[in-house]
Chain A
């Protein structure tokens, strides 16, 4: 065949003069004229029919003095722990497949996923997961909750601030070449306590009991042709709160429960491909409904309030490879929130008595359009420049600023021309403006006229990002990312006036030899913000400087191939530190108080293959965690405020686990 004896010059000419069509090696375009599949043989192919994967049983011991450690260690149990995990796949000769994945079943955080079906025909799935997050243990409150009544008592109610989400899900997919239909159902039960507060009239922090269920239904039907795809889908979510409004013996319904609600969305999406131009679009119409009974009280004219928000979200996008060097793209997004809830006047409290002041609820509408255009041009092989312009226009009702416009101009420069270097540079300049800011449009004289809310205020943003990937030798990869961004709220006198965010991440990964690999990374981020306030209700007379500082360092090593390839040793370490320092200036500058956290996480493990099928793993994990917040005080140390006490953390936790795993093949 002489076809492939073309010289490099011929190839170069072909490449430079290449048509707008890029390479398309899709199997549908294959030239099958010389194929005779009846002669195909697969004698050397592997056979993976049957079961493969592994199952494991773990037993261990936790030494935990603070339940917060349960976040990292998978369970807050102090003492003996155990879990079952597994990852098993089954493949039948006639094309049936099954899959089971279990992770830490028996611990507070674990999951089970099952799926079975025939590839690209149908699939049944079942999921179960338990997710428990711990905020603080042994929290103290003198309020005892029983069926909506919070009863004060001299005896202390001790409980954990922790939330548990138990989820089950079922799904079924069925499809052929040109269509696919799916139905999914999931239910999440959320229980536990979260930190909250009531006005009695003096504020009392308490543990809000949580017991709620969210059910989700999803269904979809997708159709496709040679150059088009379309999908019609429905998403429905139903939230049910099993906790009633809360009352105190002397104050009825002092805290409303989150109301039951439901949301429905119907979406129609599609894609059409015309040569190297691809257009896609979607229209989603939605409705959120909430019509719980309102608390009956004097000054409430309604039995139940009809809360209804209709939403409409749309998008139209295209991208086109005009030549092999030039790509153009663009999109238009539309988003509307039409609040159709009923409106009435309701009596409002002023601290602890009904003043007779009535206020009308304000169902908020929102309408936004986003326009984007972008272009990408390959200057030369390995050098590419991208640029784009984005504009977001928003209109809101009942707002101090009814219209805002965000304009952003960005540019990226990618270099892939060198074997060992990849370089990406991105720069952005953005500007927010809008209609006249009317500070007192809604609140009459309550708000300082110089206040500009930061999400509505005029803003200039300049940002730059640089990332470099370098592989000096084939066994080493080095990544460096840096970014700098500055937001300037130049028309704001009261409120957030400036924010600066910069940082870097460096990571290195090493394949030291066939058996040893190692990694390390370090990163820092700093966010400095300044804001101004006015006690005199005029020009700024106090200032706040907030300096957030985050540091993150990690390293690890994996050493395999020991003891005739039977033993693997590993080590991981992670340090992170979060600091937020606030300085308030009222003539003199004072630090606001400690607000920081740090943690050291380390683990070492040894994986030993007893034989081809059985393995043992011994692991040890260590967690050191410390956080502090000067706003966290003893229960009664601030006059007029009852807190949940000292819920800061300072602990060391240990976990030792021994796992036995059995390979199925």
Chain B
């Protein structure tokens, strides 16, 4: 009898051991059908009698599954961790009859899940509903239906997106233009992971432009470049308004992240008689084009505190 039981468990688990090679039995359901089934199942609340052990009877041979115990979500001794509560079913929903052949759907995550991003995310948000997530609902990532599991991995000792050395890889796997920008002639040191995307941007959204971590673009820049904050006695109008008027923070083919080089950039705003309006036909022939160009004299371009510095020269 015991042998028959073991054989039955072995056969019923067979389909679950190779999830990547065999599509889930509920793959034929559409997203709506799957969601409707899981909603019913969730409401019925038929949780397994023994918790995690009921699941691990079949799933313990998967390294990916067992890796949950290396991270915080598998920590049974923290009362905030799912493993201290409903265990596996806290996230994957009530087992119901799933253990009888594995044909009944469970809540699943990741690129192979047919469940909508909002349904997947509702699981995570059931616990992760704090101030950091306050702007999630209006964020571009939410509106673009990005799932938490598109960036985060909980079945691992360390979530790569929480690691300073790997977070940029996660962001740039979708943001390919910004990934390319990191390699331009001038850029912030993102490609060597000395800076990270999340130093400036809040991936869960923020109440600032472009999901910046600080209230404004300039506040974001000043957090590292405080010497440009002033306020200065003599201000340069576009500097006080928006650093991005002249700089592209993601990278540029010009030096200093500038959208264009001097003198051309300066001449796109300044055409004073006989000075800024003069043509500079080549860079290396006079002080208008050579060296630092306009900044040879107007070196205090971000603002000057010299009483006689109205031309940003001192």
Query: Do B176 and A507 have beta carbons less than 8 Å apart?
Result: yes
Residue contact B69 to A119, C-beta cutoff 8 Å? no
Q: Do the beta carbons of A45 and B143 come within 8 Å of each other?
A: no
**CB contact under 8 A between A14 and B36, given known A44-B60, A288-B229:** yes
Contacts of A255 in B (CB 8 A): 299-300, 314
A-B contact pairs, 8 of them (CB 8 A): A14-B36, A23-B115, A35-B47, A39-B50, A294-B305, A366-B240, A450-B271, A455-B241
A638 and B285 contact, CB distance less than 8 A? yes
Which residue of chain A is the closest to B299 with respect to CB atoms?
A197
A43 to B219, CA, bound (A): 52
CB atoms of A131 and B194 under 8 A apart? yes
Residue A443 contacts which of B78, B261, B272, B306 (CB distance < 8 angstroms)? B272
Task: Name the contact of B49 in the complex, choosing from A39, A271, A381, A533 (C-beta under 8 A).
Answer: A39
CB atoms of A376 and B143 under 8 A apart: yes
Indicate if A220 sits at the interface (CB-CB under 8 A). Answer: yes
Asked if B42 and A25 sit within 8 Å, CB to CB, the answer is: yes
**Distance (whole angstroms) from the CB of A334 to the closest CB of chain B:** 11
Indicate whether A479 sits within 8 Å of B176 (C-beta atoms), given known contacts A16-B32, A45-B83, A546-B264: yes
Docked CA distance A604–B187 (Å): 25
Contact B269 A453 (CB under 8 A): yes
Q: Which residues of the other chain, B, contact A30 by a CB distance below 8 angstroms? A: 42, 45, 86, 90, 94
Q: How far is the CA of A93 from the CA of B76 in the complex (A)?
A: 9
Bound Cα distance A4, B281 (Å): 78
Which residues of chain B come closer than 8 Å to A267, judged between CB atoms? 215
A89 and B158 alpha carbons, distance in the complex (Å): 9
A429: Cβ under 8 A from any B Cβ:
no
CB <8 Å contact, B177 and A505: yes
Q: How far is the CA of A141 from the CA of B125 in the complex (A)?
A: 59
CB contact between B39 and one of A23, A28, A349, A527 (< 8 Å): that residue: A23
Task: With CB as the reference atom, state the residue of chain B lying closest to A99.
Answer: B158
Residue of A nearest to B235 (CB): A364
Q: How far is the CB of A592 from chain B (nearest CB, A)?
A: 6
Chain A residues positioned under 8 Å from B143 (CB to CB): 319, 327, 329, 374, 376, 386
Which of chain A's residues have a CB closer than 8 A to the CB of B299? 196-199, 255
A379 at the interface (CB under 8 A from B): no
Is A239 interfacial (CB-CB < 8 Å)? yes
Q: Which positions 93-144 of chain B face chain A at CB distance < 8 Å?
A: 93-94, 96-97, 104, 107, 115-116, 118-119, 122-123, 125-127, 129-131, 133-135, 137-138, 142-144
Q: How far is the CA of A230 from the CA of B104 in the complex (A)?
A: 40
How far does the Cβ of A483 sit from chain B's closest Cβ, in whole Å?
7
Q: Interface size bucket, A side?
A: 35 or more
A638→B280 CA distance, assembly (Å): 14
> Is residue A491 contacting chain B, with contact meaning CB distance below 8 A?
no
Cα distance A353–B278 in the bound complex, in angstroms = 24
Query: Hey, what's the 0/1 contact readout for A530-573 against B, CB within 8 Å counting as 1?
Result: 01011101000010101011101000000000000000000000
A48 touches which one: B74, B85, B285 (CB < 8 A)? B74
**Which B residues lie within 8 Å of A259 (CB)?**
230, 232, 305
Closest to A201 in B: B297
- Is A199's CB under 8 angstroms from B49's CB? no
User: How far does the alpha carbon of A267 sit from the alpha carbon of B290 in the complex, in Å?
Assistant: 46
- CB within 8 Å of B: which A1-56 residues: 1, 3-4, 6, 8, 11-12, 14-16, 18, 22-37, 39-49, 52-53
A 305-318 binary contact with B (CB < 8 Å = 1; else 0): 10111010101011
Q: Is the CB of A308 within 8 A of B231?
A: yes
User: A308 — which chain B residues lie within 8 A by C-beta?
Assistant: 231
Q: How far is the CA of A294 from the CA of B157 in the complex (A)?
A: 56
Contact A113–B36 (Cβ < 8 Å): no
Closest Cβ of chain A to B79, distance in Å, is 8
A125 contacts chain B at the CB level, 8 A cutoff: no
CB <8 Å contact, A309 and B50: no
Contact A643–B307 (Cβ < 8 Å):
no
A131-B33 contact, Cβ under 8 Å, with A376-B143, A578-B184, A584-B281? no
A639 within 8 A of B: yes
List, in ascending order, chain A residues with CB within 8 A of B37's CB: 4, 6, 11
* A580, CB-defined interface residue at 8 Å: yes
A554, closest chain B residue (CB): B183
B73 CB to closest chain A CB (Å) equals: 10
Would you give the shortest CB distance from B133 to chain A, in whole angstroms? Answer: 8
- Give the distance in Å from the alpha carbon of A549 to the alpha carbon of B184 in the complex: 10
Q: Chain A contacts of B33 at CB under 8 A?
A: 8, 11-12, 15
Chain A residues near B194 (CB, 8 Å)?
Answer: 109, 131
> How many Å lie between the Cα of A93 and that of B85 in the bound state?
17
Instruction: Find out whether the CB atom of B233 lies under 8 angstroms from the CB atom of A361.
Output: yes
The reply to whether B253 and A549 contact each other, CB–CB distance below 8 Å, is yes
Within the complex, the shortest CB–CB distance from A170 to chain B, in Å, comes to 17
Task: Produce 1/0 per residue, B36-60, CB < 8 A to A.
Answer: 1111111111110111110011001
Residue ID in chain B nearest A318 by CB atoms: B138
Q: A347 CB to closest chain B CB, in angstroms?
A: 6
State whether A278 touches B137 (Cβ < 8 A): yes
On whether the beta carbons of B184 and A550 are closer than 8 Å, the reply is: yes
With beta carbons under 8 angstroms apart, the residue of B30, B77, B215, B231 that contacts A93 is: B77
Do A25 and B126 contact each other (CB < 8 Å), given the known contacts A113-B164, A593-B284? yes
Interface size class of B (residues with CB under 8 A): 35 or more
Closest to A203 in B: B296
Q: Is the CB of A582 within 8 A of B264?
A: yes
Q: Give the secondary structure class of B's interface.
A: loop
Using known A-B contacts A3-B40, A447-B272, determine if residue A261 contacts B229 with beta carbons closer than 8 Å.
Answer: yes
Q: Mark B170-210, 1 if CB is under 8 A from A, else 0.
A: 00000011011001110001001011000000000001110
Q: Is the CB of A455 within 8 A of B292?
A: no
Binary per-residue interface labels of chain A (92-105) against chain B in the complex, 1 for a CB within 8 Å, 0 otherwise: 11110100010100
CA gap between A48 and B41 in the complex, in Å: 32
Asked if B53 contacts A630 (CB within 8 A), the reply is no
Pick the residue among A120, A531, A537 that contacts B80 (CB under 8 A): A120
Segment at the interface with B among A144-152, A279-287, A605-613: A279-287
Name the residue of chain A whose CB is nearest to the CB of B126: A26
Contact present for B272 and A331 (CB under 8 Å): no
| Chain A hits for B252, CB < 8 A | 578
What is the minimal beta-carbon distance from B167 to any residue of chain A, in angstroms? 12
Q: Which residues of chain A are within 8 angstroms of B149 by Cβ–Cβ distance?
A: none
Docked complex: A224-251 residues within 8 A CB-CB of B: 224, 229-231, 235, 237, 239, 241
| Given contact pairs A263-B229, A495-B271, A631-B293, a sample of 14 additional A-B residue pairs in the complex whose CB atoms are under 8 Å apart | A42-B53, A48-B74, A119-B75, A120-B80, A229-B129, A229-B133, A257-B305, A295-B306, A376-B143, A414-B145, A451-B270, A531-B268, A546-B264, A641-B290
Do residues A307 and B231 form an inter-chain contact, with CB atoms below 8 A? yes
State which of B36, B234, B237, B255 has its C-beta within 8 Å of the C-beta of A396: B237
Please measure, in the bound complex, the distance between the C-alpha atom of A534 and the C-alpha atom of B222, giving whole angstroms. Answer: 36
> How near does chain B come to A76, taking the closest CB pair, in angstroms?
13
Q: How many angstroms between the C-alpha atoms of A476 and B42 in the bound complex? A: 35
Which listed residue (A113, A269, A445, A529) contacts B134, Cβ 8 A? A269
Question: When each residue 444-486 of chain A gets 1 if its CB lies under 8 Å from chain B and 0 otherwise, what string results?
Answer: 0111101101110000000000000000000000010101000
List of 7 A-B pairs having minimum Cβ-Cβ separation, nearest first: A26-B126, A31-B45, A15-B32, A46-B69, A40-B51, A631-B283, A203-B296
Chain B contacts for A652, CB-based, 8 A: none
> Which listed residue, A196, A253, A263, A631, touches B284 by the CB 8 Å rule?
A631
Point out which of B30, B66, B261, B305 has the most chain A C-beta atoms below 10 A from its C-beta.
Answer: B305
In the complex, chain A residues whose CB is within 8 Å of the CB of B15: none
Q: Is A381 within 8 A of B31, CB to CB?
A: yes
- Whether B306 and A253, one on each chain, are in contact in the complex, defined by CB atoms closer than 8 angstroms, is yes
Residues on B with beta carbons closer than 8 Å to the beta carbon of A542: 279
CA distance A235 to B223 in the complex (A): 10
Counting CB contacts under 8 A, is B295 at the interface?
yes
Chain A contacts with B in 305-362, Cβ cutoff 8 A: 305, 307-309, 311, 313, 315, 317-319, 321, 327, 329, 331, 333, 335, 337, 339, 341, 346-349, 354, 359, 361-362
Partner of B131, one of A222, A386, A396: A222
Nearest Cβ in chain B — how far from A371, in angstroms? Answer: 13
Q: For residue B118, give the distance in angstroms from its CB to the closest CB of chain A.
A: 5
